[in-house]
Structure 1
Amino acid sequence: MQTTITNHTSTLSEPFIVRPEPSIGTLSGRKIWIDLENSPHVPFFRPIIEELGKLGLHVFVTARDCAQTRELADYFGLSYKLFGRHSGKNKVAKAVRLGVRMCQLTPTIRSEKPALALSHGSRSSTFLASILRIPSITIFDYEFVNQITLPSLGWVMVPEVLPDEAVHFRRDRVLKYPGIKEDVYVPFFRPDPSAMGQLGINGKDIVITVRPPATNAHYHNPESEHLLVTAIEFIGRNPAVKIILLPRYPEQARALRKTWSALFASGRMLIPEHVVDGLNLIWYSDLVISGGGTMNREAAALNVPVYSIFRGKIGAVDRYLSGCGRLVLLENTADVPKRVMITRRTRPASPHSGTAVTLQAVISHVLKVLELTAGPVN
Structure 2
Amino acid sequence: MRILVLANTPAHVHLYRHAVDRLGRAGHDVLVLTREYACTTDLLDYFDVPYRVYGDHETEGYSTLAFGRELGGQFLSIGLQAIRFGPDVVFGRGPYAAVAGTLTRTPVVLVLDDEPGDFNHTVSRPFADCIISPDVTRRDLGAAHYTFDGFKECAYLHPDVFEGIDNIREYLDVDPDEPYVIVRFNALDALHDTALEGFGPDQRRDLIDRLSEAATVFVSDEGDEMDLRDLPARPYDLHPAMIHDAMAEASLLVADTGTMVNEAALLGTPAIRYRGTDDHEYGEFQELERVGLAEQFDEYDAVCDRALALLGDDEVGARWQRRRQEYVGDLVNLTELLVDVARSRGNLERLEGSTRRVLRPRSQSIQ
Q: Please tell me the TM-score bracket, short chain as reference.
A: 0.7 to 0.9
| Selected match of 2:127 from 153, 156, 168 | 153
Say whether residues 1:72 and 2:67 are aligned partners.
no
The corresponding residue for 1:236 is 209
Which whole-Å CA distance do the structure 2 matches of 1:273 and 1:161 have between them?
Answer: 33
AA aligned opposite 1:126: A
Deviation of 1:56 after TM superposition, in Å, equals 4.1
Which whole-Å CA distance do the structure 2 matches of 1:112 and 1:131 have between them?
Answer: 12
Say whether residues 1:195 and 2:168 are aligned partners.
yes
The corresponding residue for 2:355 is none
Say whether residues 1:246 and 2:201 are aligned partners.
no
1:103-182 → structure 2 map (5 Å cutoff): 103-119=76-92, 121-146=93-118, 147-154=121-128, 155-163=130-138, 166-167=139-140, 169-171=141-143, 173-182=144-153
- Do the aligned partners of 1:130 and 1:151 also contact (CA within 8 Å) in 2? no
Q: Which moved more, 1:91-100 or 1:129-138?
A: 129-138
Say whether residues 1:358 and 2:334 are aligned partners.
yes
Over residues 220-240 of structure 1, what are the superposed CA-to-partner deviations in whole Å (9 max), with x where a residue is unaligned? 3544123x7536513423334
Q: Name the Cα RMSD after superposition.
A: 2.7
| Selected match of 2:311 from 342, 346, 362 | 342
| Unpaired runs of at least 5, structure 1 | 1-29
Q: Number of aligned residue pairs: give it.
A: 329
Task: Identify if the C-alpha distance between structure 1 residues 271 and 342 changes in structure 2 by more than 3 Å, giving closer, same or farther.
Answer: same
- Do the aligned partners of 1:244 and 1:270 also contact (CA within 8 Å) in 2? yes
| Selected match of 2:248 from 242, 267, 283 | 283
Give the match's secondary structure for 2:190. coil
AA aligned opposite 2:6: D
Tell me which stretches of 4 or more aligned residues in structure 1 moved more than 6 Å: none
Could you tell me the TM-score, scaled by structure 1's length?
0.78
| Selected match of 1:328 from 292, 295, 299 | 295
Which whole-Å CA distance do the structure 1 matches of 2:49 and 2:345 have between them?
Answer: 25
- Do the aligned partners of 1:72 and 1:275 also contact (CA within 8 Å) in 2? yes
The corresponding residue for 2:361 is none
The corresponding residue for 2:359 is none
Say whether residues 1:216 and 2:189 are aligned partners.
yes
| Selected match of 1:309 from 251, 274, 277 | 274
Which whole-Å CA distance do the structure 2 matches of 1:31 and 1:105 have between them?
Answer: 16
The corresponding residue for 1:319 is 286
Give the match's secondary structure for 2:153. helix
Which whole-Å CA distance do the structure 2 matches of 1:82 and 1:200 have between them?
Answer: 35
Which whole-Å CA distance do the structure 1 matches of 2:202 and 2:254 have between them?
Answer: 11
AA aligned opposite 1:230: Q
Which whole-Å CA distance do the structure 1 matches of 2:240 and 2:115 have between them?
Answer: 29
Task: Identify if the C-alpha distance between structure 1 residues 213 and 314 changes in structure 2 by more than 3 Å, giving closer, same or farther.
Answer: farther
| Selected match of 2:230 from 256, 262, 267 | 262
Deviation of 1:209 after TM superposition, in Å, equals 0.8
AA aligned opposite 1:261: R
Over residues 251-279 of structure 1, what are the superposed CA-to-partner deviations in whole Å (9 max), with x where a residue is unaligned? x21x211xx4311xx5x322306434121
Give the match's secondary structure for 2:150. coil
Q: Which has the higher helix share?
A: 2
Over residues 160-206 of structure 1, what are the superposed CA-to-partner deviations in whole Å (9 max), with x where a residue is unaligned? 1223xx13x322x1122221111121132222232332232223532
Deviation of 1:372 after TM superposition, in Å, equals 6.8
Which whole-Å CA distance do the structure 2 matches of 1:52 and 1:98 have between them?
Answer: 29
Percent of counterpart pairs with the same letter?
19
Give the match's secondary structure for 1:298. helix
- Do the aligned partners of 2:97 and 2:124 also contact (CA within 8 Å) in 1? no
Deviation of 1:369 after TM superposition, in Å, equals 4.3
Task: Identify if the C-alpha distance between structure 1 residues 373 and 112 changes in structure 2 by more than 3 Å, giving closer, same or farther.
Answer: farther
| Selected match of 2:63 from 90, 101, 105 | 90
Deviation of 1:59 after TM superposition, in Å, equals 1.1
- Do the aligned partners of 1:36 and 1:122 also contact (CA within 8 Å) in 2? no
Could you tell me the TM-score, scaled by structure 2's length?
0.80
